[in-house]
Structure 1
């Protein structure tokens, strides 16, 4: 097959796909920005996770985040058009939490010589990344645009994801919970479990006392939908690989895990969940 005619996958930096995977599968990434006062950094380009979390902990002010402009997407689309690539599927951060999807849609209207389909992932972090990597693998296998869009829709429907937030500080600073709730929650060692709804909105699944209980609750939630099925598992974390390993081991004890992938939650998502967060992304997998 002529590689230049294959479907190309574009996503944004909130997909938290490691650079080596993006390069391996030819996934184009359009960065969002994280802003500390007057300093602006492109997520995953000018600033990576390690530098970001060190700066986040040291800063007295919560950074802000900014979506890409339509021109940012247009530049990427033009590059693919000039290279003579085939159709493009651009998979973006949930439109319920960011205007990134709308920026990509506007960029699509600005280019005539490239077949671009913009998809609202209705997800975040490696919830987007897992789908993008699977889509890029399918593209490498010569799947058509229609086949890959069907795969994306299936993964969106079947994937389960849960974020375990270690501290309430950043949810409070970001305005998701009040100061009083954050103070009481911290005193009681409350660990929120967050997920995204079918419409891509962030919601609190449960608030559990203690990290181990919260991890066990995530396991129970995964069992409700995926028990008895082999799964592909991805674990994402902000800081503290040990916690990520613990969650991975717990899930692996109760599921037939066909593959495990780790990834670092980047600056934009990390701004809202804070250090110590871990997340599990699980989807049904074919037996090897």
Structure 2
């Protein structure tokens, strides 16, 4: 038996049938001096609504006692435990989990850095499950390969939330530029937020992301076998998202909202997709 653990920085469509149990370490979200557990005591929509009211949320690591309890229970129940965290460049979750796991001295627990977040973290987990199902093994080199064989592209109309949350990464070059430029963002191979380009309108954003995705699919030679996961936030983003996703329906395995811990840093208005080599879990 194998068990997977991840933090709530990942997003996957809720109706996906997974071959292995996945336990979630909830990141903490703070709004107006109140503390919530992501995906436990605050929903995505609740967080979006608070942001639309003008609140700027902050986030923090999962509680150490929850991490330790989850690891211990999983290690006792399972032959191998694979923990795949949000990028270590975006959060200290990886370092915290790694240190706790080392202190517990459990030989069947493996802590791995996804080098990404959100739906791409979800995609990496799917690839990891596929790998374990086929081989029973999983290493950081495998995770790095899955990260390189996929592309995250998402649109946000403002960098305000990333900037105030300290997660601006390599997108910081945009600060101070013309305010009406809107970024198309990704996580790069280092696990940092970076820009794929800037646009001035929603229609331009959709066309630019499609061009980027098309070039990626061609470069990876996965034209006939790719997997796509989509995500968006508030309802007003749905129409734009549906225009974006239309050419990729054959590879689409599901759509999800963006979790509150991620939305705390990108804001309530966003949409995007991850595309990568085809995942086959059945």
TM range (shorter): 0.7 to 0.9
Shift of 1:93: 0.7
The answer for the alignment partner of 1:99 in structure 2 is: 92
Q: Which moved more, 1:129-138 or 1:61-70?
A: 129-138
TM-score, normalization by structure 2: 0.85
TM-score, normalization by structure 1: 0.84
Shift of 1:266: 0.7
Matching of residue 210 in structure 1 with residue 201 in structure 2: yes
SS at match of 1:110: helix
Distance 2:73 2:16 in 1: 20
CA contact (8 A) 1:74 1:110 kept: no
Q: 1:152 to 1:179 in 2, by over 3 A?
A: closer
Q: Size of the alignment, in residue pairs?
A: 271
Distance 1:22 1:214 in 2: 32
Matching of residue 144 in structure 1 with residue 136 in structure 2: yes
Q: 1:33 to 1:199 in 2, by over 3 A?
A: same
Distance 2:74 2:214 in 1: 41
Distance 1:173 1:149 in 2: 31
Q: Which moved more, 1:99-108 or 1:10-19?
A: 10-19
What are the within-5 Å matches in structure 2 for residues 41-56 of structure 1?
A: 41-56=36-51
Counterpart of 2:71 (choices 63, 66, 77) is 77
Q: 1:42 to 1:22 in 2, by over 3 A?
A: farther
Distance 1:23 1:179 in 2: 39
Shift of 1:173: 3.9
The answer for the alignment partner of 1:244 in structure 2 is: 241
CA displacement, residues 175-218 of structure 1 (integer Å, 9 cap, x when unaligned): 64699848x52xx3x32101112111111221111011111111
The answer for the alignment partner of 1:62 in structure 2 is: 56
Distance 2:175 2:116 in 1: 29
CA contact (8 A) 2:9 2:118 kept: yes
CA contact (8 A) 1:172 1:178 kept: no
SS at match of 1:262: strand
Distance 2:15 2:108 in 1: 26
CA contact (8 A) 2:131 2:137 kept: no
Note the residue ranges of structure 1 that are not aligned, 5 or more in a row. 1-5
The answer for the alignment partner of 2:11 in structure 1 is: 16
Matching of residue 225 in structure 1 with residue 216 in structure 2: yes
The answer for the alignment partner of 2:150 in structure 1 is: 159
What are the within-5 Å matches in structure 2 for residues 162-181 of structure 1?
A: 162-174=153-165, 176=168, 181=176
Shift of 1:94: 0.6
CA contact (8 A) 1:8 1:136 kept: no
Distance 1:155 1:137 in 2: 11
Q: 1:223 to 1:180 in 2, by over 3 A?
A: closer
Counterpart of 1:272 (choices 247, 258, 265) is 265
Distance 1:181 1:219 in 2: 27
Shift of 1:24: 6.8
CA displacement, residues 155-179 of structure 1 (integer Å, 9 cap, x when unaligned): 1121011111133443454464699
Distance 1:100 1:152 in 2: 17
The answer for the alignment partner of 1:27 in structure 2 is: 22
The answer for the alignment partner of 1:3 in structure 2 is: none
Distance 2:142 2:128 in 1: 7
Shift of 1:68: 1.6
